[in-house]
Amino acid sequence: MIRTTLHPPVPLRRRGLAPLLAALACPTLACPTLARAQEAAPEPIPRTTRHELASRGGHPFRVFLHVPAGEPPPEGWPMITVLDANAVMGLVVDTIRVLAFLPREAGIRSAAVVAGIGYRTDDPYDLVRRSFDLTPPPGREMPAAEGRPAMRTGGADELLDFIEETVKPLARRAAPIDASRHAVLGHSFGGLFALHALFTRPGAFRDYVAGSPAIWWEDSAVLTSAERFIARTDRPAPLRLLMTVGAYEQSLAPWHDPAWRPRMEMMRMVDGARELADRLRPLPGLELGFETLPDDGHMSAFPVAVQRGLRFILSR
């Protein structure tokens, strides 16, 4: 005989049921308790390492180094140095990965090693540091004003030294590099830096992408360097320059504050870039591209400059 023992029902307390009922009542992602248990781990940028380094002058940098998958070209990978990497390193790497998936359809030769120059912050920009690193010498001391901290300018040559002495060797240790296909890509002050590098150290890179370059900076002093570059008889060749600028960097977009108009007119971002392009275009040995981005202001022009710039660099 099998005996069946019936236990008296266990009393259910409303307080004990509360967590269970709450879990059943809300979707997983909407429930704080369950969401904490299923928090996603951050996904790093594919095939990219991070390096905490310092320049000869002791200025700290965070360098992001991306090496593509697969076999390099026989002559080695092209190398692209990207400025403001905290803001756009992921965009740059993903764009190259997309283009290189079908390179012939995309009109490029191969993927590339990317060295992103960034800072030891989780923010997209370090405004104080980039104001020093990306602007040409001699620079000046700028006191704090209108909520902006005090800062120095004029450190572009120190950054160029850092790229030559530290960043390029770092990349060469990680992957075979084609020494004839170095490029630099920057926006705003980064675009100014790219122009300064072209005009003062044209042998440092073959390809220069200057998105929305701040030509107006310090009374357009970079134009003096441009004239010296134009007058040189020993310019290396080939050299390639792409300049882009948003149409709404000199005129008001529908979303702009009308109070910005006087400053935009003073900076002459579109006219200044176009005039410099016209001045450089006749130079033998320099392949020049210039593009006005019709729907973009200063910040939205950066991602577009990345896309245009990467195709420009990798197409040759």
Catalytic residues: 188, 249, 298
Type of residue numbered 64: F
Report the alpha-carbon distance of residue 237 to residue 56 in Å, rounded. Answer: 29
Q: What's the token pair of residue 84?
A: 């403001």
Report the alpha-carbon distance of residue 3 to residue 42 in Å, rounded. Answer: 57
Report the alpha-carbon distance of residue 202 to residue 236 in Å, rounded. Answer: 7
End-to-end CA distance of the chain: give it in Å, rounded: 90
Spell out where 147-265 has E strands.
151-152, 177-187, 207-211, 239-246
- DSSP, collapsed to helix, strand or coil, labels residue 46 as coil
User: Residue 266's CB: how many other CB atoms inside 10 A?
Assistant: 10
Report the alpha-carbon distance of residue 136 to residue 63 in Å, rounded. Answer: 21
- DSSP, collapsed to helix, strand or coil, labels residue 234 as coil
